[in-house]
Amino acid sequence: MRTADLEARLAEWSRPGGPFDPAVLTAHDETESFPAEACAALDTWGLPEYYVPVRRGGRQDRLDEFLALLRRIAARDLTVAVAHGKTFLGGVCAWVAGEDGPADLLARHVLAGEPVAWGLTEPDGGSDLLAGSLTATRHGSGWHLSGRKWPVNNATRGNLLCVLARTEPEGGPRGFTVFLIDKRATATGTVRPLPKMPTHGIRGADISGVEFHEARVPAHALVGTVGGGLELVLKSLQLTRIVCVSLSLGAGDHALGLLRRFLSERRLYGRDLADLPHVRGTAGRAAAHQFLAEAVAHTAARAAHQVPEELSVVSAVAKAFVPTLVQGQLRLIGDLLGARGFLTGVEGYGGFAKLERDHQVVPLFDGSTWVNRAGLAGVLPLLRPGRRATASVSASPVHWLREEHRPAPLDARRLRLLAPRDSVLGALPTLVAELAEQERTSSTAAETASLSRALLAAYERLGADLKNVRPTGGAPSTATMRLAERYEWCFAGAAALALHRARPRLHDGPWGQDGLWLRGCLALALEGLGSRPTGATQVYDRLGTLVTTAPDVPVSVLDDMVPDEPVHDGSVEVPAA
């Protein structure tokens, strides 16, 4: 129960004077200083082990668990989650490239507590990886690096840095290569830090840069193949984009916690605030945002193991959709908190203003919302419903979203730049048909079935609109981007339906009774698709009532308390001598 254990430690560390004491973290934010105590506590707990795959000696064997851990930290303090979590990003290229030499070397460093940064962006380059001008040229048996990476998370504090460098003067998709640099092994004066940038949020994080002047790096700094850098980075981003959305889930948890506290304390017109229908409705809507975000994030994390060849689509949807959804959720909660969400240092509510500032970086990480949506828009014509064969039963999300399903080990060799299909949306017609069979059992079952049919109809309309879209080069039109957004909402609704179908536990309990959480998700998705589903007001009202009257029930449909047991992969364990 490592997630539960981390949560218990975090609660302990959050006491006055502890490394996660909100006062300590607020002080770091105000002085723009690194939350070193909190990061050290996470090191001691063993978080670095989760940055290293099991086969390299670490404990990382399932992405859903890693998302749950990072979410817990983000729910306490987003800056700390960003400041510590970057080592996952820094390491991922070495694991995806899969060569034993560099991967094992990096694993040893990470397990020893060394942070690793990931340098992709350059001044003036934006998200365009092909525009990179940091150059690596062969020099003897090794390489010479010259140029800048900026802005990079942890560029100054870390000794290790994974960078994408131009290795062909004319660039192009085969003109870039990934290198893992150990700054300590470079000659004095050849690697210089670029100053930390003042930022709107995550102010304590080390957002800085690095400059190379003919820095000599050894042959073994090469990660993957010469010229294989762009492909390696694009595949690695498919994993990191999914991990990033856990930061949004944590921000949502944090904000919902503050909202619950406020609703329990605040009285207006002689009544509890939650007695006001508008307040209940908005709180319920905020909860539905959280459930829908969870459904997409969790589905994406499981998809990484089961259908890695589809991750180019799944990760783009998750990264474009979830942070944007949570941004909207924070706006709703901010409206309810009123002045308390705006003032800093007031009775503990100052945390809201900070988390809202901190979260604004999440839609930018690892490809902005626009970049991810544009990537999706480019392949939309090929994802049109019915255009491709549907996946086999074992590829259906209902199969691999089952609670007891043990995800297969991550296999980076199965990652592709082009998804052959989308199994999640591919499952939608079946999921809707199955709900229709239940619709006579109760009025709420009929309502759920009706909402799901409306989602399927919206998906079919999207399919019809996609018939007229031709793939083209260049930036997608605004109209095509809007189609991509509709695709994301359909995907999210399908993910919620699949999760509901796969887990009987979610048909019961406070959120699950009468399919309440699912109806909240479907209503929200349909609103995102431009309709006004009937019954939505009542659903949000009931969800809002639960938010306020059952303060001990987490606003979550995921049971993240994954048993901490060894991997059952059929191999025989040999006891240590």
Partner 1 sequence: MTTYGFDPAAPSELQSWLVERLAEYLPDLGEAVDPYRQLGEYGLDSIAVVAFAADVEEQLGIAVDPTAIWDYPTVSELAEYLAGELAERRPQAA
Contacts 24+ apart (CB under 8 A), 567-570: 567/54, 567/61, 567/406, 567/409, 568/406, 569/409
Q: Please give the Cα distance from 560 to 5 (Å, whole number).
A: 11
∠ CA 203-205-211, rounded to 5°: 115
Q: Would you say 224 or 493 has its CB closer to partner 1?
A: 224
8 class by beta-carbon count within 10 Å (0-12 exposed, 13-18 middle, 19+ buried): exposed
Q: Would you say 171 or 193 has its CB closer to partner 1?
A: 171
Residue 500 tokens read as 């509901």
527 three-class SS: helix
Provide the minimum distance between the beta carbon of 418 and partner 1 in the complex, in angstroms, as a whole number: 5
Q: Would you say 301 or 377 has its CB closer to partner 1?
A: 377
Provide the minimum distance between the beta carbon of 371 and partner 1 in the complex, in angstroms, as a whole number: 10
177 three-class SS: strand
Chain residues binding partner 1 by CB under 8 A are 130, 172-174, 230-231, 234, 312, 374-375, 377-379, 381-382, 387-388, 416-418, 420, 470-474, 476
Provide the minimum distance between the beta carbon of 472 and partner 1 in the complex, in angstroms, as a whole number: 6
Query: Is the separation of the CB atoms in 289 and 524 below 8 Å?
Result: yes
Q: Would you say 55 or 174 has its CB closer to partner 1?
A: 174
Q: Would you say 163 or 374 has its CB closer to partner 1?
A: 374
Q: Would you say 170 or 565 has its CB closer to partner 1?
A: 170
Which among 6, 358, 293, 350 has a CA at the least distance from the CA of 153? 358
Q: Please give the Cα distance from 167 to 344 (Å, whole number).
A: 49
Q: Please give the Cα distance from 404 to 302 (Å, whole number).
A: 12
Q: Would you say 203 or 235 has its CB closer to partner 1?
A: 235
Q: Would you say 374 or 462 has its CB closer to partner 1?
A: 374
Provide the minimum distance between the beta carbon of 174 and partner 1 in the complex, in angstroms, as a whole number: 5
Query: Is the separation of the CB atoms in 291 and 517 below 8 Å?
Result: yes
Cβ atoms within 10 Å of 415's Cβ, excluding its own: 22
388 three-class SS: coil
